[in-house]
Structures are given as C-alpha cells and as structure tokens.
Homo-oligomer: A and B are copies of this chain.
C-alpha cells in the first residue's frame, strides 16, 4: 500500500501536523526537522493524497468540462487542445463529466459539487437546459464558450461572429456577387443569431436586399451543408456565392456543387467559418472566417483559474476577434452570370 502521512510521521519521529507543514512549505519548521521529514518522505516514496487534502481544504485542483458535441468535431478538438495547453503546468487536471443530460433526475450542479470541482467550462449545451440554470446560480466558477450566459460566478467567451460574417459578405460583394446565400446553424443559439445579424448587416452595407429563400438552417455538419446547398441549387435563381456557418458545412456545400458538375469558385464561391486545419489542406483551399479557437481554449482556462483563485474577480465576458482568411474557394463573379 501507499505510505500515508502517518507513516512518514512515524518514520521521521515527528507528528503528522509537522509533516503536513513541511509538505506545504510552512516556514515555522526547523531546518533539522524539515530534513528529517524530507528524508522520510523520500524513503517511503510518500505523495500527499490530493483527494484527502481536498476534503479539508475544499479545493480539488480539478476543472470540469461539459461538452455535448462529439470530440470528432474539429472545432471541439482545437478548443480542447487549447484547454489542455493552458492546464499543462497549472496544477489542475481536467475532468470530463459523464453528464446524463437527458435524465430528468440528473443535475449538473450536483455532479460538480459531489466531485468538489473548483471550476467548470461548458461548451455546446443550450443555455435553456434545466441543468445550466442551476449551475449559473451556484457558486461554482464557470466559463461558457459560445453561449451568452453570465452570473455571479459565470462568465463567457465568444468569437465576434457578427463581424466575421459581415466581412465575408463584404468580400463576396467586392468580387461582384449579389446573389449571396447563407447556410445558417441552429436557430436560437446565440452564435447562430449573431452570425445572421452579420449576414444581414453585410447585405445592407452592399445594398443587397435580403431574400428568405437564400437562408437555410442547419446544424454545422458536413451533411447539413450538403443538403442545404442541394436545396439552393434547385432554386429558380440559385446563388452565385454562399457563406456557411462552419467549415464542415462549407465542405458539404462544395461537395454538393461539384456533384452537380459545377465548380468552386468557377461557378459558385463558398466561404466557411472556423478555419479548422483541414481548410487549408484540401482543394480548393477554403476561404473562411478564422476563429482563434485554440486561443479561446487557453483564455477560457486562464480566466477560469483567475476566477477560482480570486473570489472577487468579476466573471469576464470576452469577445475574441475574427478575421477573413482568403484562399481559393472564392472568386470574381463570372461575367456570363446574369446579375439580378
């Protein structure tokens, strides 16, 4: 079995209190005693039990994460990679909670509390979810990603979605496009809503009227982009350019376009959102709105840790900048196209 603090105390011939003081670098221990204890610790290969310590200090050195999106989603991967990086030398470990969100008896707050979590980051969960409400009202430091929730101890971080899509539309307009469609995400989600505002804003700035048949909802997936684009292509007057709410959806859209024997950007220009690493690898290189996903992951943890360590730190609301990355999937409107 593992050595406990009692074993060390016995070995060193001191009390457990003294051993505890040495472990925690208290100053009021004589050099002599300190070295005796250190020797005993080395001899017995003793390591303090984080769990037991947590029970008395109330700190678990654990950050929880609630993610309700598949890990295979490249956006999730990049976010987690940032989270991981920021956690690396922080002393905190990351716990993914097997949350039973569909179980009416399940409570996310209870789960966090019974695990003694020091803080938690939430991603991809609808803010209306019953379980989220409890969390926001609790005292557990929380950071939401892409959800505009705030609370006494809850902050959030979101990309500047609105401006991102605005820039995309502007870019297409500068290339001569007027028939610009938008493959949107899930209605109600803040991310979706602000991107939609950006789309309308962009159209307005270019004096292009808004057409409802040019806006289709979806779910950010490849299939969703594929289906949406198919529908757009069946319109009497199909768009010459389309902005998608995710890179994966954009890939789906490109697939649909090419399946019709059309080309990107020859016939139709396509813009994605996210700038996942595949965006630059595959042909045609995808013009897309860059989100600093990795940086967001890092920031989320940094802010969360600050909140944990300082009860008075006001929960931050951060907007991360977005930018347009121009590659090969967008091009000048072909002169043969009829401008409406």
Asked whether, in the complex, the Cβ of B97 is within 8 Å of the Cβ of A93, the reply is yes
Instruction: Contact check, B93 vs A96: say whether CB atoms are below 8 A apart.
Output: yes
- Min C-beta distance of A300 to chain B, whole Å: 15
Closest residue of B by beta carbon distance from A2: B113
- Chain A interface size, under 10 / 10 to 19 / 20 to 34 / 35 or more: 35 or more
Q: Does A196 belong to the interface (CB within 8 Å)?
A: no
A95 and B98 within 8 A (CB): no
Inter-chain contact A89/B100, CB cutoff 8 Å: yes
**A74 to nearest B CB, angstroms?**
7
| Most B C-beta atoms less than 10 A away, residue of A72, A91, A92 | A72
Copies of this protein, total = 2
Interface pair B95/A94, CB less than 8 Å apart:
yes
- Expressed in whole angstroms, the minimum distance between the Cβ of A307 and any Cβ of chain B is 19
Docked-complex contact B283 and A50, CB < 8 angstroms: no
A169 CA / B163 CA spacing, docked (Å): 50
B81 touches A87 (CB 8 A): no
Which residue of the partner chain B has the closest CB to A79? B71
Which residues of B have CB within 8 Å of A89?
Answer: 98, 100
Return the CB mask of A54-77 against B: 1 if under 8 Å, else 0: 110000101000000011111011
The answer for the CA separation of A92 and B100 in the assembled complex, in Å, is 12
Q: Is A236 an interface residue (CB 8 A)?
A: no
10 pairs of residues in contact across A and B, judged by CB atoms under 8 Å: A45-B110, A48-B114, A52-B55, A71-B78, A71-B80, A71-B84, A72-B74, A72-B277, A89-B100, A93-B115
